[in-house]
Structure 1
Amino acid sequence: MVDFAQLATFQAVIGTGSFEAAARELHVTPSAVSQRIKALERSVGQVLVRRAKPCVATPAGEALVRFAGQVALLEREALAEARDGTRVSIVVNADSLHTWFLPALKAVPGPTYELHTDDEFHTADLLRSGTAMAAVTADKEVVQGCRIERLGVMRYLACGQAGASTAVLYNRKDRLQHAFVGDLSEMHYIPSASAYIEAIRIGLGWGMVQEWIAREDIAAGHYVDLHPGRYLDVPLYWQYWKIGSEVLDELTAAVKTAAAPYLRS
Structure 2
Amino acid sequence: MNPIRLHTLLTIVDEGSFEIAAAVLGISPSAVSQRIKALEKEAGRVLLRRSTPVTATPAGEVLVQAARQMALLEAETLAALRGRIAKVPLSVVVNADSLATWFKPVLADVASWDQATLQLRIEDESHSLNLLRRGDALGAVTKEKTPVSGCDSIELGSMRYVSVSNPWLLDRYTNNGVVDWEKMPALRFGPRDQLQTTDLRGRVEQLPNTRRISQIPSAEAFVEATRVGLGWSLLPIQDAKPLLEAGEIVLLDDRVLEVPLYWQRWRLESPSLERLTESVQQAAANMYSNI
- Asked whether the 8 Å contact 1:137–1:237 carries over to 2, the reply is yes
Determine what percentage of the aligned residue pairs are the same residue: 45
Of the two, which has the highest radius of gyration? 2
Query: What do the CA deviations read for 1:143-165 (whole angstroms, capped 9, x no partner)?
Result: 23322211111111111133451
Compute the displacement of 1:14 (Å).
1.8
For 1:237, the aligned partner's letter is: Y
The equivalent residue for 1:181 is 200
For 1:15, the aligned partner's letter is: D
Compute the displacement of 1:263 (Å).
5.6
Compute the displacement of 1:245 (Å).
0.8
Match of 1:209 among 210, 228, 235: 235
The equivalent residue for 1:119 is 124
Aligned ranges 1:35-74 → 2 under 5 Å: 35-74=34-73
TM-score by length of 2: 0.83
Compute the displacement of 1:254 (Å).
0.8
Q: Report SS of the residue matched to 1:105.
A: helix
Compute the displacement of 1:49 (Å).
1.5
The equivalent residue for 2:221 is 195
Compute the displacement of 1:131 (Å).
2.1
Please give the alpha-carbon distance, in whole angstroms, between the structure 2 residues aligned to 1:236 and 1:168. Answer: 22
Please give the alpha-carbon distance, in whole angstroms, between the structure 1 residues aligned to 2:92 and 2:288. Answer: 20
Please give the alpha-carbon distance, in whole angstroms, between the structure 1 residues aligned to 2:19 and 2:237. Answer: 49
Aligned length, in residue pairs? 262
Query: What do the CA deviations read for 1:99-150 (whole angstroms, capped 9, x no partner)?
Result: 1112123224231212111111122222222222211112233223322211
Please give the alpha-carbon distance, in whole angstroms, between the structure 2 residues aligned to 1:23 and 1:87. Answer: 20
Query: What do the CA deviations read for 1:48-75 (whole angstroms, capped 9, x no partner)?
Result: 1122233211011112111101100111
- Asked whether the 8 Å contact 2:101–2:238 carries over to 1, the reply is no
Query: What do the CA deviations read for 1:219-256 (whole angstroms, capped 9, x no partner)?
Result: 3322221122x221111111122211101101101101
Structure 2: gaps of 5 or more residues: 174-183, 202-206
Compute the displacement of 1:5 (Å).
1.3
The more displaced of 29-38 and 151-160 is 29-38
Aligned ranges 1:230-249 → 2 under 5 Å: 230-249=255-274
The equivalent residue for 1:144 is 149
Q: Report SS of the residue matched to 1:119.
A: coil
Structure 1: gaps of 5 or more residues: none
